[in-house]
């Protein structure tokens, strides 16, 4: 299977941005912050209830044969999300990734048709340990700058790393056990740069790296213009993609579609829970991976799927176990 995941004019926050010419986000910490101060800074993004762009691109980094895709993205808290991406000269034959309060889906081309994979949030959350994808689309909202930090969920940190970033580890309860989320935070301006999500058995299932940040004074919030996301399914190859956004419209959706967050009525559809029920359907594929099988050609779980990894000054989180004491410095290696 080959993967491939009139603009409204409006006033307000949507504007063309040359990121290299924007001033750096303002300093909010003159000294090392405690967890309450970190939460206050990060949770400034609560002021964003809607986020929209018609000027995005998606680059599937884990599949070099896929061209860069033109995309539009719209989200509305808490779970409304829509990302549609296609080859510019072949509009309508690409990815449709979406979520609403009840369900989520992704639609991809398979041969001459489109196939819609879908599940309800409730069903999927109860089967994450057997799910084809390790997260649902609502996790992307966190990756693009809308993650929250609840001090009551912190199990380790904050600590200042050797690279200068602040590291905080939080607990994320789920129906299949407690996940752990690790945040790397810019120490002066107080925004998240990296996210790592670990399953209850300590397996890395998702990570993201956000860059080219801009400060939006009207909502006192910092947003990235580039986000790299990498997902590690339980079986099959990792999926890595890069989302680049030229302009944002904040708290105003760039769409008049009343069905913007409704799941498409695609005829060819697959219930993800049926795929997760077992490896008895060897013909089923998601993102090119045969369900229920592994291949020696796939990268080892937790390794980079990017053909040309971007190395940053940040490292990966240290190992952690629930029985270990909290609070000591967390050491890391270079991040891919």
Q: For residue 324, is it within any domain?
A: no
pTM of the model: 0.78
pLDDT of residue 90: 54
pLDDT value at 85 more than 70: yes
Instruction: List all residues 6 or more positions away from 217 whose beta carbon is below 8 Å from its beta carbon.
Output: none
Q: For residue 303, is it within any domain?
A: no
Q: For residue 6, is it within any domain?
A: no
Structural contact between residues 138 and 82, judged by C-beta atoms closer than 8 angstroms = no
Number of domains in the chain: 1
How far, in Å, CA of 225 to CA of 222, rounded?
10
Q: Of 67, 55, 75, 120, nearest to 94 (Cα)?
A: 67
- What is the CATH number for 179? 2.50.20.10
Q: Give the model confidence (pLDDT) of 294-317 as tens digits.
A: 333 333 333 333 333 333 344 556
How far, in Å, CA of 140 to CA of 239, rounded?
13
pLDDT value at 9 more than 80: no
pLDDT value at 93 more than 90: no
pLDDT of residue 229: 93
Instruction: List all residues 6 or more positions away from 180 whose beta carbon is below 8 Å from its beta carbon.
Output: 155, 169, 170, 171, 172, 197, 198, 202, 320
Q: For residue 158, is it within any domain?
A: yes
Phi/psi of residue 235, each to 5°?
A: -130, 155
Q: For residue 283, is it within any domain?
A: yes
Which DSSP category does 319 fall into?
P
Q: For residue 315, is it within any domain?
A: no
pLDDT of residue 333: 26
Provide the domain limits for residue 84.
27-290
Q: Give the model confidence (pLDDT) of 139-194 as tens digits.
A: 889 999 999 999 999 999 899 998 999 999 999 988 888 999 999 999 999 999 99
Q: For residue 95, is it within any domain?
A: yes
Average pLDDT over residues 280-295: 42
Q: For residue 334, is it within any domain?
A: no
| Long-range own/partner contacts, residues 331-334 (CB < 8 A, 24 or more apart) | 331/161, 331/162, 332/161, 332/162, 332/163, 332/167
Residue 130, SS3?
helix
According to the per-residue pLDDT averaged within each range, which of 84-88, 137-141, 181-185, 279-283 is highest? 181-185
Phi/psi of residue 66, each to 5°?
A: -85, 125
Q: Can you spell out the DSSP letters for 4-16?
A: ---PPP--SS---
How far, in Å, CA of 322 to CA of 55, rounded?
43
Q: Of 131, 84, 62, nearest to 287 (Cα)?
A: 62
């Amino acid at each position: 299977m080959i993967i491939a995941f009139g603009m409204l004019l409006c006033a307000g926050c949507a504007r063309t941005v040359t990121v290299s010419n924007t001033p750096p986000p303002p300093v909010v910490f003159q000294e090392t912050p405690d967890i309450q101060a970190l939460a206050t800074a990060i949770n400034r993004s609560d002021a964003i209830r809607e986020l929209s762009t018609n000027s995005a691109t998606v680059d599937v980094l884990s599949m070099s044969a896929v061209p860069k895709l033109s995309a539009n993205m719209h989200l509305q808290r808490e779970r409304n999300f829509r990302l549609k991406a296609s080859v510019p000269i072949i509009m309508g034959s690409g990815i449709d990734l979406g979520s609403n309060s009840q369900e989520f889906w992704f639609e991809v081309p398979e041969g001459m048709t489109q196939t819609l994979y879908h599940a309800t949030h409730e069903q999927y959350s109860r089967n994450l340990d057997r799910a084809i994808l390790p997260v649902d689309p609502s996790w992307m909202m966190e990756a693009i700058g809308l993650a929250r930090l609840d001090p009551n969920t912190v199990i380790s940190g904050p600590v200042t790393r050797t690279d200068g970033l602040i590291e905080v580890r939080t607990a994320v309860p789920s129906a299949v056990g407690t996940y752990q989320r690790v945040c790397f935070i810019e120490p002066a301006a107080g925004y998240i740069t990296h996210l790592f999500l670990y399953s209850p058995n300590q397996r890395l299932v998702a990570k993201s790296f956000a860059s080219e940040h801009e400060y939006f004074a009207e909502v006192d919030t910092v947003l990235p213009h580039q986000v790299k996301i990498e997902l590690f399914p339980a079986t099959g190859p990792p999926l890595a993609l890069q989302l680049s956004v030229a302009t944002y419209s904040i708290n105003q959706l760039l769409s008049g579609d009343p069905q913007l967050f409704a799941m498409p009525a695609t005829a060819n559809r697959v219930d993800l829970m049926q795929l997760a029920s077992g490896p008895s359907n060897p013909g089923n594929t998601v993102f090119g991976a045969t369900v229920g099988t592994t291949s020696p050609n796939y990268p080892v779980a937790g390794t980079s799927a990017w053909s040309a990894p971007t190395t940053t000054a940040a490292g990966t989180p240290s190992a952690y176990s629930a029985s270990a004491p909290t609070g000591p410095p967390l050491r890391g290696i270079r991040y891919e």
